[in-house]
Every structure is written in C-alpha cells, then in structure tokens.
Amino acid sequence: MMVHPQLASLLALPAALPAVPLVAQLVPAPILGICVWGALASFICSLWVAIREAAVQLKKLHQVPCDQCTYFTGSCYLKCAVNPSLAFTEAAIDCHDFVPASERIAACSACAQPCAQPHKQ
C-alpha cells in the first residue's frame, strides 16, 4: 500500500524524541513514597478536623430555640416578629425575648388582648 509522500511526512515521527526526565528518575523511590504517604496522611487529617469542626458547629446550632418560641412565625420571609435579624443564628441562643410557645396566652374574645381575667359573655 502506497502512501502519498506529503501524507507520509506528516505522519512520520521524529527519529529520536528528546529525553524528558521523570520525577521517579530524579527522586529515589523511598523519598517519593514518603512524600506520597505524607500527602495522603495530611489530607486525611485535614478531612478529620473539618468533620469535627462541622459537628461542633451543628451541635451549637441545635441549641437555637427559635422554633419553640412564641414569636416564631413559621414564615420564610419573617421568621421572628421581635428580632428577625437574629432568628436562627448563634446570637439567638441567648435571646432575651424568648418566650416558650407553651406559655403563650391566647387573646380572649372579650377584649381581644392577652389576658387571664374571666369575662362575662
């Protein structure tokens, strides 16, 4: 099978490729192995630290009492009627306006205000 001369010159490889030194040829194998294992150990250690820090942060955010407060609205637009900028943040853990939802006093039908006095109907 004959190949056109111009095509043959395009497909032809150079006679000798320049020698490119590989990392394995420059660095002895034991040192290279130590570097690889050290990089792997560093990655695993940093991953472990990140998981621990995430667990601590998650435990801290589980202490936020906003969803059990009287002033929690349940709306995604206004989560708290008193302190909307602090709702569901770490600053809300010690919120001074927190009132448990179980202590909520419903508005009476006679005066339309929260009260504990009986009214004649």
Summarised one tens digit per residue, pLDDT across range 4-51 is 777 666 666 565 656 656 666 677 778 888 999 999 999 999 999 999
pLDDT at 21: 61
Domain boundaries, the chain: 27-62, 65-103
Beta bridge pairs of residue 69: 100
